[in-house]
């Protein structure tokens, strides 16, 4: 019997976790079933998918992202780039900012090339294309990496939020950037021209806002209050400067 893509991904996560002799952090992860709430102290693995409506290779990766939204221990984010718009279809979800972000990742890796689809897991696992086993392996590895940072986000009076970023073991060598993200949970698009002409594609967790809200040196706890910018779900990410690893993330409650 051939397992579904979702079953294959979950099986990959579990098998890699077993092979790497996971500790308590991984035990927390695998104890959470799809649809259950993740433990409050668990930072989800951030999966950035760089995609485009004008890319014929992207729909399988877009479908993989749909499967990830069922797992609270993973925070999938769809970042649409604009460099395929010249092929005959302008991606209405694209933002040049995401093209710049992907290029910055490439430069940090010593490369001049960008491509779609590409998944970047926690800022340090790079997967070209829609390869489920590779993605599952990278997610499992990310769950096993020690986290030097913890993020706590709560609701504040008046509709805003209060945020605390803490080093987990005394010091978390900085500098780091704290970023606020908002995303559209679902958007179906009918593509009329270009490489995907005639397709109707469902996109999930489409990023519509991405902006740094603070810099942090990783020493003393960082506390700040902020208001949501959009009336959409969101998250806070803490990433090392220079397109380094994403050390922590938390969804907005």
Residue 27, in any domain of the structure: no
Instruction: Decide if pLDDT at 207 tops 60.
Output: yes
Kindly give the pairing relationship between strand 161-167 and strand 149-155.
antiparallel
pLDDT band at 68 (very low <50, low <70, confident <90, very high): very high
Residue 133, in any domain of the structure: yes
Any bridge partners for residue 250, and if so which? 236
- The pair phi, psi for residue 95, each rounded to 5°, is -140, 130
Of 6-10, 41-45, 109-113, 148-152, the one with minimum mean pLDDT is 6-10
Residue 37, in any domain of the structure: no
Instruction: Decide if pLDDT at 66 tops 50.
Output: yes
Which 3 state secondary structure label does DSSP give 121? strand
Instruction: Decide if pLDDT at 29 tops 90.
Output: no
Percent of the chain with pLDDT over 90: 76
Alpha-carbon distance of 183 to 77, in angstroms, equals: 8
Burial track 146-182 (b if 16+ CB lie within 10 A, e otherwise): ebbbbbbbeeeeeeebebebbbeeeebeeebbbbbbb
Instruction: Decide if pLDDT at 226 tops 50.
Output: yes
Residue 36, in any domain of the structure: no
CATH number at residue 72: 3.40.30.10
Mean per-residue pLDDT of the chain? 86
209-222 pLDDT tens trace: 999 999 999 988 99
Residue 142, in any domain of the structure: yes
Domain range for 71 is 5-13+43-251
91-117 pLDDT tens trace: 999 999 999 999 999 999 999 899 999
129 versus 6: which is more confidently predicted? 129
Alpha-carbon distance of 94 to 208, in angstroms, equals: 9
pTM: 0.85
115-144 pLDDT tens trace: 999 999 999 999 999 999 999 999 999 999
pLDDT band at 42 (very low <50, low <70, confident <90, very high): confident
pLDDT (0 to 100) of residue 73: 94
Residue 110, in any domain of the structure: yes
Residue 178, in any domain of the structure: yes
In the DSSP assignment, the letter for residue 174 is S
CA angle 188, 192, 195 (to 5 degrees): 100
Instruction: Decide if pLDDT at 21 tops 50.
Output: no
Which 3 state secondary structure label does DSSP give 206? strand
pLDDT (0 to 100) of residue 39: 43
Percent of the chain with pLDDT over 70: 83
pLDDT (0 to 100) of residue 135: 96
pLDDT (0 to 100) of residue 170: 65
Residue 29, in any domain of the structure: no
155-204 pLDDT tens trace: 998 889 999 999 987 667 789 999 999 999 999 999 999 999 999 999 99
pLDDT (0 to 100) of residue 10: 47
Count of domains forming the chain: 1
């Amino acid at each position: 019997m051939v397992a579904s893509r979702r079953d294959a991904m979950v099986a990959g996560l579990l098998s890699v976790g077993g092979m790497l002799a996971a500790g308590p952090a991984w035990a927390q992860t695998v104890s959470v079933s799809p649809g259950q709430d993740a433990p409050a102290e668990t930072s989800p693995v951030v999966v950035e998918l760089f995609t485009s409506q004008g890319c014929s290779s992207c729909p399988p990766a877009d479908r993989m992202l749909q499967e990830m939204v069922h797992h609270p221990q993973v925070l999938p984010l769809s970042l649409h780039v604009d460099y395929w718009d010249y092929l005959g279809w302008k991606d209405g979800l694209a933002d040049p900012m995401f093209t710049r972000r992907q290029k910055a990742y490439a430069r940090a890796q010593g490369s001049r090339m960008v491509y779609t689809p590409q998944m970047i897991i926690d800022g340090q696992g790079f997967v070209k294309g829609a390869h489920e086993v590779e993605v599952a392996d990278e997610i499992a590895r990310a769950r096993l990496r020690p986290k030097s940072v913890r993020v706590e986000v709560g609701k504040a009076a008046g509709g805003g939020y209060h945020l605390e970023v803490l080093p987990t073991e005394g010091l978390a060598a900085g500098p780091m950037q704290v970023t606020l993200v908002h995303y559209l949970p679902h958007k179906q698009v009918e593509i009329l021209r270009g490489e995907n002409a005639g397709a109707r594609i469902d996109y999930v967790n489409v990023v519509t806002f991405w902006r740094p809200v603070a810099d942090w040196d990783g020493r003393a706890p960082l506390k700040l209050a902020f208001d949501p910018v959009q009336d959409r779900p969101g998250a806070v990410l803490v990433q090392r400067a220079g397109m380094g690893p994403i050390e922590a993330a938390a969804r907005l409650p």
